Structure 1
């Protein structure tokens, strides 16, 4: 009886050691995945910072002005090109509301109700 109990305990210890090893292996694998993801996140943040720096370099007003003067045949702005506000044409009238116009042309609701019931005669 004692040998059977000892054998069961040894088998239980082996099974426990195997499960502990499996948990350790999985946790190590997960830790490696986390480290890899953190490294990728750090690289992406560095790439974003680099792209932001490049964007701010490319959108500098003095650089854009130099490119515009080099590649575009723009004339200088003259104050004679401006006009006064009172010389502007009037704003066009807003388009009509066809449904609203139809409703305005309709008879009032009381006259319609009275005609249906025969009270209006």
Structure 2
């Protein structure tokens, strides 16, 4: 019996050792993946900063003004004038639709219920 308990204890130790080694390997792989993702994030942030700098460079007002002047005739642009700007109060917004009247709907239902022929039921 003592030999069986010793054998079981040794198998348990070997099994737990294998499990611990396997968990260590999985942890190391996860750490490497996290480090790779961190490097990728840093590279993308650098790329984003470069793109923002290029966007700011290309959208300089003096550059855009030169391009507009250079292509003025070809694009058919008109010079800006103060009369071209308006106020928000001058914008014709659509009117909201009126809400249905419950009394009229009830009256329509009564008329439909009292109609004797299908032609009379068409609203």
Q: TM-score, normalised by structure 1?
A: 0.60
**Hey, what does 1:109 align to over in structure 2?**
none
**Hey, what does 1:85 align to over in structure 2?**
none
4+ aligned runs moved over 4 Å, structure 1: 74-79
**Aligned length, in residue pairs:** 90
Compared with structure 1, are the counterparts of its residues 12 and 68 closer, same or farther at alpha carbon in structure 2 (3 Å cutoff)?
Answer: same
Give, in whole Å, the separation in 1 of the partners of 2:7 and 2:30. Answer: 35
Task: Give the RMSD, CA atoms, in angstroms.
Answer: 3.5
Q: Say whether residues 1:6 and 2:1 are aligned partners.
A: no
What pairs up with 1:59-70 in 2 under 5 angstroms? 59-70=59-70
Consecutive unaligned residues in structure 1, runs of 5 or more: 83-90, 104-121
Give, in whole Å, the separation in 1 of the partners of 2:37 and 2:81. Answer: 58
Give, in whole Å, the separation in 2 of the partners of 1:36 and 1:56. Answer: 30
Deviation of 1:40 after TM superposition, in Å, equals: 1.1
Deviation of 1:3 after TM superposition, in Å, equals: 1.7
Compared with structure 1, are the counterparts of its residues 16 and 56 closer, same or farther at alpha carbon in structure 2 (3 Å cutoff)?
Answer: same
**Hey, what does 1:45 align to over in structure 2?**
45
Give, in whole Å, the separation in 2 of the partners of 1:23 and 1:9. Answer: 21
Compared with structure 1, are the counterparts of its residues 38 and 60 closer, same or farther at alpha carbon in structure 2 (3 Å cutoff)?
Answer: same
Deviation of 1:2 after TM superposition, in Å, equals: 2.3
